[in-house]
Amino acid sequence: MSLSGKVVLITGAAKNLGAEIARSLAPLGPSLALHYNSQASKEAADALTKELVAANPENKVKFYTGDLRTAGAVEKIFKDVLQDFKRIDIVVNTVGKVLKKSITEISEEEYDDMFAINSKAAFFILKEAAKHVSHGGKIVTIVTSLLAAFTGMYTSYAGSKAPVEHFTRGVSKELQGRRISVNAIAPGPMDTRK
């Protein structure tokens, strides 16, 4: 499969799953518009850029930063990517936060933060992707296997990811006429300590 001439936007791409997806797609030839949240991830973003360009010198790779917990920040990322690349063919949203904690210990602030990162950001990324992804493009959201095989202590995490499945199904139906594939992937546990 070739993605030559395509533009892929991956949110949460400096580390962990997002970075692995960028590494997997890069040899297929797309331009990569990659996002990271804050200065804390800048060093990882710079290292990944060097790695991807060294391995795939024909690819254009550019990172964008922003806290996607606000609709305005999501809109800005899409606007900036479109300005730089002129199109977006594939969007992969890997933005997420895990909290392993008993419900009796979860504060209101933690609850709000989990839903802002896992649900609200996903909603507005889907909204902007629905507006801007090219006809015949692809949108992928990351949910969690904990929705099917609940293990406890992840109440706020699984609960904040559950709406994303429903958002994804709804957007899939809305975009059928433009032949845009919209899917949710539910990976299991990952080692993110690297």
pLDDT at 71: 98
Confidence category of residue 191, pLDDT binned at 50, 70, 90: confident
Which pLDDT does position 149 carry in this prediction? 62
Domain boundaries, the chain: 7-185
How many secondary structure helices (H) and strands (E) does the chain include?
A: 6, 6
**What pLDDT, on the 0 to 100 scale, is given for residue 92?**
98
E strand or H helix at 182, and its extent? strand 181-185
Q: Which residues, 6 or more positions from 50, have their beta carbon under 8 angstroms from its beta carbon?
A: none
Q: pLDDT tens digits for 162-171?
A: 899 999 999 9
Joined together, the tokens standing for residue 99 give 């909290």
Residue found by looking up tokens 């804390």 in the block = 40
Contact 35, 12 (CB under 8 A): yes
Q: How far apart are CA 120 and CA 57, in angstroms?
A: 35
For residue 105, the model assigns a pLDDT of: 96
pLDDT for 186 equals 86
pTM: 0.93
Residue 155 pLDDT:
82
Confidence at 111, pLDDT banded by 50, 70, 90:
very high
For residue 11, CA distances in Å to 53, 96, 155 come to 18, 10, 24
Tokens for 164, please give them: 């994303």
The H or E element that residue 98 is part of is none
Tens of pLDDT, residues 135-182:
999 999 998 876 666 677 888 888 898 899 999 999 999 999 999 999
pLDDT at residue 194, rounded to an integer: 54
pLDDT at 184 over 90: yes
DSSP summary character for residue 97: -
For the domain 7-185, what is the CATH code?
A: 3.40.50.720
Q: Render pLDDT for 55-90 as a digit per residue (tens, 0 to 9).
A: 999 999 999 999 999 999 999 999 999 999 999 999
Q: What digits encode the pLDDT tens for the residues 10-51?
A: 999 999 999 999 999 999 999 999 999 989 999 999 999 999
C-alpha 99/C-alpha 103 separation (Å) is 10
How confident is the model at residue 14, as a pLDDT?
95
